[in-house]
Chains A and B, each alone.
Chain A
Amino acid sequence: MQHVSPVREPLVTGGKTYHDVTQDVCRQVEAAPNIRWMAALSVALLLLGVFFYSVYRTLWYGIGEWGLNKTVGWAWDITNFVWWVGIGHAGTLISAVLLLFRQKWRTSINRAAEAMTIFAVICAAMFPVLHMGRPWLAYWVFPLQNTFGSLWVNFNSPLLWDVFAISTYFTVSLVFWYTGLVPDFATIRDRAKGPIAKVAYSMLSMGWTGSAKHWSRYETVSLILAGVSTPLVLSVHTIVSMDFATSVVPGWHTTIFPPYFVAGAIFSGFAMVLTLMLITRVVFKLEDYITIEHIALMNKIMMVTGSIVGVAYITEFFIAWYSMVEYESYAFINRATGPYWWAYAAMMTCNVITPQLVWFRKVRYSIPLTFILSIIVNIGMWFERFVIIVTSLHRDYLPSSWAMFSPTIIDVGIYVGTIGLFFTLFLLFAKFFPVINMAEVKAVLKYTVDNGPTYTGQDPHHAPQPVTTHGVPASAPVNYDKHD
């Protein structure tokens, strides 16, 4: 038995029944696309077009289409890569870590957050491939046998660790996400009217019947995957940070990077989840599922991680001074006062100062302010990666090689294009897949429904009563032993 304090705010508002949940979530899957969705998809497809054009230029003419030079060998490409990977962190954190910690509030946001993770990792994965001089040989980074024209790989290289980290993370996230989708696909399948939808969702639901055995396996797999994913949340960005930390470049060669990058990733991931959720809940009228409490909680996580990142920034400066290493201390002086001071200032403002506003309850509970804040943090985290990569590289050891970097239209095109790719995928997901995990929301619905009316009522010790199963489809979990 799990006891839920009656003073807790309900996780789902509006006195929803199981049937309401099914209806609310399936509505946009089953209904014809609405005009707002069409408009959004058109914009996303346009940006995707920009992406394809920029990629064509890059592949046809070469990396020279970008603004890189002999001194700054990575700039927007790896900035975008780390940015997207960072954004991809919240999904796993929400679905895995919060699952292990039994944070019930995650149930209504985890589906979208996981989808976001997968799409963000897809966007991120574009860059390690595209930034290669010869992307058609990208498979050489895998330890394949010689018949693939491949020799052995260099296990010393953090880029190789990256290959493993990202591919593992992507695979596990995808499996995790899909596992969660199966019962909901079955619900949609059972309600589907059109022949195509019937076949499609039948295949997607992989023969799910909702039997006790299925539910038992589902729960076990979810727990195992959560257990597997949890270290990944830490490992992926740790390894991404080692792309920099293992180098000799002043400003990169920093032992603080792994925790600092992980905190930054969660920070930016939550910012992105917020941005998307705030839009989704309005567009699909899901305010009762993604409540203001969710938003406030996510704001708090953002503030904590934002503060960790702030401490990391300051620690870097302290160490640069304390180490008395000439190149290191100059790298940080240059970062703050050199020609790219504006990028540094943008990063500090967006990532360290703005999240502190969340201390105010009013900000935390304000939807417009949260939205603005989430965008600012997204921008700030992009600048963080830009600052780390470009300001460290552009002035390293030999002053003779110092140079400036300026992006070309193709750099911008690829970045904006991946945003298009991301939103195209996300909008398609939002239209054709259940954006909220119906099965899991139903599991938290019970005491929400029961406690809801009694929250302001007279008897705070009112015992939960079994709810009516009216209107619950066969696939809904009636899983009292676990949740009660």
Chain B
Amino acid sequence: MQESPKYWKGIEELENSPEFIKNAMTEFADFMPVKEGHGSTDATVAPRRDFLKLMGFGLAAATLASCEAPVHKAIPYLNKPEEVDPSIANFYASTFFNGQDYNSVLVKTREGRPIKLEGNPESPITRGGLSARGQAAVLSLYDSARLQFFTKKGQRIATDQLDQEVRAALAGAGRVAIVSPTIISPSTKKVINEFTTRFGGGEHVMYDVNSSSALLRANGGVLPAYDFSKADVIVSLDADFLGTWISPVEFARQYVENRKVSSERRTMSKHYQFETNLSLTGSNADVRESLKPSAMGAATADLYNAVVGGGAAPASKKLAEAAAALRRAGSRGLVVSGINDPGIQTLVAAINQNLGSAAVDTANHSYVRQGDDARMARLIKDIIGGQIGAVIFYNANPVYDHPMGAELGKALQAGKVKTSISLNDRLDETGKLCLYAAPDHHFLESWNDYEPKRGYLSLAQPVITPLFATRQAQDSLLTWAGNPTTYYNYLRQQWQGVLGSAGFVKAWDKVVHDGVARGSALPAPAAQLEPAMDTNSAMSAIRANKGAGIELAVYEKVGLGNGAQANNPWLQELPDPISKATWGNYVTVPRAYAVEQKWEQGDVVKVTANGKSIQLPILIQPGQAAGTIGIAIGYGREAAGKVADQVGANVLPLLTMRNGTINYTTSVKIEATGTQSPIAQTQTHHTIMDREEVVQVASLKQYQENPKEVTEYVKITTPDGLEAPRKVSLWQDYEYKNHHWGMAIDLNSCIGCGACVVGCQAENNVAVVGKQEVINRREMHWMRIDRYYSSDANKEQFEEKGKLDTYAAMEDPSANPSVVFQPLMCQHCNHAPCETVCPVLATTHSSEGLNQMTYNRCVGTRYCANNCPYKVRRFNWFSYYSNEKFEAVNGHMFTDLGRMVLNPDVTVRARGVMEKCSMCVQRIQLGKLEAKKEKRRPRDGEVVSACAQSCPTQAIIFGDMRDPESRLSQLLRREDGERAFHALDSINVQPNITYLTKIRNTDQIDFNV
């Protein structure tokens, strides 16, 4: 038999001397002896010089080696998962609900990583729309501030041990409470129910930061479902239903349905808004009046009297008009109120009932607000009183976001609750005071179900293996309650009740695939805790409420909401639709008050109420009611992560309870501090300076009477008389043989919510730059929404008042301005000024009409940006992905964890290059390739830009202008000469983006007809 060949590493091994054997055991030779070798007899001691020589060589070698760029290895799958193809995106249906707004979503994953959320068009509720918060939620998955394991007193603890300790503690805990925001998951509720039943005295308390407690009480314990598309007259009393109130994405879609106009439909709803702060909804209203919070009750009562009681018309002209319009509209009228006051809500409910409003549905009601302020307040008092044995905070952070949070925090700190457990995703303000933390999965790692509205169900499915050693909260609760099933099985079990046991697997798979289903799983709401008032006692309650001095109205921002997602830099940097401010909250004051106090924007004031005070800079806000100020919640986090901590101040401690509900208004004392703190606004000039060519607005009456005249088309003088600017050109036109991509943006449908801004940011890896760089006017957003206030001055006053004075006056917004929003991205001009001036041809025109940016070629002269009339080009002033100045705010581009969210189809731009909207060229390319594989042309709607995809109101339509049957082409044909216009038409850059004139229903209604 042949012996297998033997190889040896060297002659030493062959000899196999004892010394070799000794050394072979160690990986490295002994440490290099460092001794003065000169004259030494010991030959094994290396002389000092040799050491220096070796060290020198080593240093040189190390230096040389470090000159090479590090190699990042991409490791291929050993076994390719069936579904995952490199570079092909998979979409999975899921649901985003964080206790605020509900969104059914599609999760885009690449190579197993979720990289973007999009609206689920199958959803009958959100219908493909997705809010800015929803868009941004994917980034929170990769948030390095998430708690990555279970802890006890902040120290890591093994899961088993925690379970053991918790089970033991709960067994003898006495009263056990679970605190959570609104939960609309039927299965989760059942789990909680099982848990509380298991621990005898268990209770489940839900509270909402933006509470609708009063609305619930006034409607017999149910939250009415609204359908704004069924209302021709909408009267909103401080309800920001397009921005933050209950279900803004759903409402926005309904609202706009009755606002879109076209040649087939030349009518629209009429929207009256009575509010304190200028909200997103108020800025879209046809008629708006600003009122003090203390006057809202009287206004409601007046409205009630005028509509229901047949009383005298209210003193306010606008209110009288609203009442008359409501009466005439009858069941096509709707009154909504966001005021958390049972009296007001009772009257509002009574008005709707009286009108028989078709837009209010209490049978198939909504579930998205279930919080009970009174019950939560009682629980906090019980905790302070030491009557609670164990408390579990499930995605609830009341220490931060409840007005009594400070007291609760002290009680937890003092150990008034023996066993406190946080299921929150991070050691937040509440979590760090709890004994145990058993962090929940991110919703993209979880199974769950949702019933936002009675009869409408949806599912969430995990799209990635949990990134950290976390456990789904429901599993934790089941474990502690002694139920060995996993939540997934539990969920499926539950759904057998919905889908039926026969053919369940198939039906279940379909629901998982679609993400949504019809059916109901939640029990009918429990009987009301406290009886609703009758209208008389409501009236007297309202009359009793008198404001004094300066009144504070606390509001919620469209971007940051209640602050639960505050550590998300996309949301922090999303400009507020109205103030255009990012990174922090501020005190909105009316101009007159600031002038009277000699305050300027950015002056820091101290606001004191109910014995507590906060300091914030002021922002002069047109439309703010006289004698009031506004402050947003969601800021002033202390333990959310390095993005959110210490940004702004928390206003919630200033609030108190009234009539068993949180009162979001209060009287305050306000005084200057003499310091300054600049506000980071992305827009600092607020009026349009009467430049009709930029944004065109007309009234409904004008539109109905002569739709051909609502849009002004500029003509230029030529030797042959007046001509459209397009007729005169220095340049040759491009010929588009295949596609000609373009967009239409309906200014009538755009409500300015900013979902597209975040959608674009997620799709295109747009960097976050932080507060100081926004102050420096260097935000990187490819897509922005310009907001213009109307001014009292206009060009007609040139002759009367002089040009200089008029221009100066045009810079000041009106006290109660009308507002117009204009989404602006690269206009992809066919005669692009940027293209001609680039010395190196880094920006060129594509054969499909796109103005394309070649980053590799850009040397960064910035001439293109200077020459862009729309100012949509963004320059990489720094290395946003490696300059340590941006690590706190743009951290996701710095770490391997964060970089998982980046879209691999879009380059992260280097320092010194210009970037801008590419019209999502990567999506266009994908659409074309998919079509090519099937040997056909791309179908209309197959290619959609990220902004158009995310728009809840479908204000943005993307398509191929060379395809005569595309929605875009049809729309442009229909609107040609009516509402279609190009911004800055007279300079003849021939954009591929067409805007549609905004129509306002501002004409006075003639009630005598």
Q: Are chains A and B native binding partners rather than an unrelated pairing?
A: yes
Q: Which residue of B lies closest to A134 (CB)?
A: B912
| B989 in the interface (beta carbon within 8 A) | yes
Complex Cα spacing A402 to B691, Å: 14
| A275 in the interface (beta carbon within 8 A) | no
Complex Cα spacing A123 to B861, Å: 18
Complex Cα spacing A61 to B773, Å: 14
Are A133 and B870 neighbours in the complex by a CB distance under 8 Å?
no
Contact partner of B913 (CB less than 8 A), chosen from A70, A73, A133, A157, is A133
Are A133 and B859 neighbours in the complex by a CB distance under 8 Å?
yes
Q: Contacts A132-B859, A398-B870 known; A247 to B837 CB distance under 8 Å?
A: yes
Q: Contacts A74-B862, A397-B870, A398-B869 known; A403 to B911 CB distance under 8 Å?
A: no
Are B876 and A62 neighbours in the complex by a CB distance under 8 Å?
yes
Are A70 and B875 neighbours in the complex by a CB distance under 8 Å?
yes
Which of A136-144, A205-213, A309-317, A353-361 sits within the interface?
A136-144
| B736 in the interface (beta carbon within 8 A) | no
Q: Contacts A62-B876, A70-B778, A133-B862 known; A247 to B867 CB distance under 8 Å?
A: yes
| A200 in the interface (beta carbon within 8 A) | no
Are A326 and B691 neighbours in the complex by a CB distance under 8 Å?
yes
Complex Cα spacing A74 to B824, Å: 22
Are B691 and A333 neighbours in the complex by a CB distance under 8 Å?
no
Are A157 and B836 neighbours in the complex by a CB distance under 8 Å?
yes
Interface residues of B in 674-729 (CB under 8 A from A): 683-689, 691, 693-694
- Chain A residue numbers with a CB within 8 Å of B867 are 247-249
Are A159 and B837 neighbours in the complex by a CB distance under 8 Å?
yes
Q: Contacts A63-B860, A140-B857 known; A154 to B911 CB distance under 8 Å?
A: no
Which of B824, B839, B873, B989 is the most central at the interface, judged by chain A CB atoms within 10 Å of its CB? Answer: B839
| A221 in the interface (beta carbon within 8 A) | no
Interface residues of B in 859-893 (CB under 8 A from A): 859-863, 865-867, 869-871, 873-879, 883
Complex Cα spacing A152 to B841, Å: 8
Complex Cα spacing A158 to B838, Å: 8
| B840 in the interface (beta carbon within 8 A) | yes
- Chain A residue numbers with a CB within 8 Å of B877 are 62-64, 68
- Chain A residue numbers with a CB within 8 Å of B784 are 400
Q: Which residue of A lies closest to B843 (CB)?
A: A154
Contact partner of A132 (CB less than 8 A), chosen from B683, B777, B824, B912, is B912
**For chain A, which range describes its interface: under 10, 10 to 19, 20 to 34, or 35 or more residues?**
35 or more
Q: Which residue of A lies closest to B689 (CB)?
A: A399
Are B859 and A141 neighbours in the complex by a CB distance under 8 Å?
yes
| A454 in the interface (beta carbon within 8 A) | no
Are A153 and B841 neighbours in the complex by a CB distance under 8 Å?
yes
Complex Cα spacing A133 to B989, Å: 26
Complex Cα spacing A61 to B885, Å: 10
- Chain A residue numbers with a CB within 8 Å of B824 are 398, 400
Could you tell me the dominant secondary structure of chain A's interface residues? loop
Contact partner of A62 (CB less than 8 A), chosen from B862, B870, B911, is B911
Q: Which residue of B lies closest to A128 (CB)?
A: B861
Task: List the count of A-B residue pairs having beta carbons below 8 Å apart.
Answer: 175
Q: Which residue of A lies closest to B775 (CB)?
A: A69
- Chain A residue numbers with a CB within 8 Å of B859 are 132-135, 137-138, 140-141
Q: Contacts A71-B777, A400-B787 known; A151 to B840 CB distance under 8 Å?
A: yes
Are A133 and B875 neighbours in the complex by a CB distance under 8 Å?
yes
| A230 in the interface (beta carbon within 8 A) | no
Q: Contacts A151-B857, A248-B987 known; A399 to B685 CB distance under 8 Å?
A: yes
Closest chain B CB from A136 CB (angstroms):
9
- Chain A residue numbers with a CB within 8 Å of B685 are 395, 399-400, 402
Mark A22-51 against chain B: 1 for CB-CB distance below 8 A, else 0: 000000000000000000000000000000
| A280 in the interface (beta carbon within 8 A) | no
- Chain B residue numbers with a CB within 8 Å of A249 are 866-867, 869
Complex Cα spacing A157 to B773, Å: 30
Are B862 and A73 neighbours in the complex by a CB distance under 8 Å?
yes
Q: Which residue of A lies closest to B883 (CB)?
A: A61
| B779 in the interface (beta carbon within 8 A) | yes
Are B694 and A64 neighbours in the complex by a CB distance under 8 Å?
no
Are A63 and B875 neighbours in the complex by a CB distance under 8 Å?
yes
- Chain B residue numbers with a CB within 8 Å of A138 are 859
Are A134 and B858 neighbours in the complex by a CB distance under 8 Å?
yes
| A246 in the interface (beta carbon within 8 A) | yes
| B518 in the interface (beta carbon within 8 A) | no
Are A157 and B839 neighbours in the complex by a CB distance under 8 Å?
yes
- Chain A residue numbers with a CB within 8 Å of B298 are none
- Chain B residue numbers with a CB within 8 Å of A398 are 694, 786, 824, 869-871, 983-984
| B447 in the interface (beta carbon within 8 A) | no
Interface residues of B in 651-670 (CB under 8 A from A): none
Which of A64, A67, A141 is the most central at the interface, judged by chain B CB atoms within 10 Å of its CB? Answer: A64
Are B839 and A160 neighbours in the complex by a CB distance under 8 Å?
yes
| B914 in the interface (beta carbon within 8 A) | yes
Closest chain A CB from B688 CB (angstroms):
6
Complex Cα spacing A437 to B77, Å: 77
Complex Cα spacing A158 to B879, Å: 28
Interface residues of A in 44-103 (CB under 8 A from B): 61-64, 67-71, 73-74
- Chain B residue numbers with a CB within 8 Å of A344 are none
- Chain B residue numbers with a CB within 8 Å of A132 are 859-861, 912
Are A248 and B840 neighbours in the complex by a CB distance under 8 Å?
no
Are A397 and B984 neighbours in the complex by a CB distance under 8 Å?
yes
Q: Which residue of B lies closest to A247 (CB)?
A: B867
Q: Contacts A62-B911, A64-B778, A141-B839 known; A73 to B694 CB distance under 8 Å?
A: no
| B26 in the interface (beta carbon within 8 A) | no
- Chain B residue numbers with a CB within 8 Å of A73 are 862-863, 865-866, 875
| A276 in the interface (beta carbon within 8 A) | no
Closest chain A CB from B879 CB (angstroms):
7
Complex Cα spacing A402 to B837, Å: 22
Which of A163, A330, A397 is the most central at the interface, judged by chain B CB atoms within 10 Å of its CB? Answer: A397
- Chain A residue numbers with a CB within 8 Å of B266 are none
| A220 in the interface (beta carbon within 8 A) | no
Closest chain A CB from B646 CB (angstroms):
23
Mark B788-799 against chain A: 1 for CB-CB distance below 8 A, else 0: 100000000000
Complex Cα spacing A310 to B807, Å: 26
Are A159 and B860 neighbours in the complex by a CB distance under 8 Å?
no
| A469 in the interface (beta carbon within 8 A) | no
Q: Contacts A70-B874, A133-B911, A398-B869 known; A151 to B691 CB distance under 8 Å?
A: no
Contact partner of A159 (CB less than 8 A), chosen from B684, B788, B839, B989, is B839
Are A393 and B866 neighbours in the complex by a CB distance under 8 Å?
yes
Which of B784, B858, B865, B989 is the most central at the interface, judged by chain A CB atoms within 10 Å of its CB? Answer: B865
Are A151 and B875 neighbours in the complex by a CB distance under 8 Å?
no
- Chain A residue numbers with a CB within 8 Å of B858 are 133-134
Contact partner of A400 (CB less than 8 A), chosen from B683, B693, B863, is B683
| A156 in the interface (beta carbon within 8 A) | yes
Are A403 and B777 neighbours in the complex by a CB distance under 8 Å?
yes
| A396 in the interface (beta carbon within 8 A) | yes
Which of B833, B841, B879 is the most central at the interface, judged by chain A CB atoms within 10 Å of its CB? Answer: B841
Q: Contacts A61-B883, A71-B777, A400-B786 known; A247 to B840 CB distance under 8 Å?
A: no
Seen from chain A, the residues whose Cβ lies within 8 Å of a Cβ on chain B are: 61-64, 67-71, 73-74, 128, 131-135, 137-138, 140-141, 151-154, 156-160, 163, 243, 246-249, 326-327, 330, 333-334, 337, 393, 395-404
Can you name 30 A-B pairs with beta carbons within 8 Å? A64-B878, A68-B877, A69-B778, A74-B863, A131-B862, A133-B875, A134-B858, A134-B859, A134-B913, A135-B859, A140-B840, A156-B836, A157-B836, A246-B837, A247-B867, A248-B867, A248-B987, A248-B989, A330-B689, A395-B685, A396-B869, A397-B691, A397-B869, A397-B871, A398-B786, A399-B694, A399-B788, A400-B787, A402-B684, A402-B685
Q: Which 4 A-B pairs have the closest CB atoms?
A: A133-B860, A133-B912, A64-B877, A69-B777
Q: A62-B911, A159-B861, A400-B788 are in contact. List 14 more A-B contacts (CB 8 A).
A: A63-B860, A69-B776, A70-B871, A70-B874, A74-B863, A134-B860, A151-B857, A153-B839, A153-B841, A157-B839, A159-B838, A248-B833, A400-B685, A401-B683
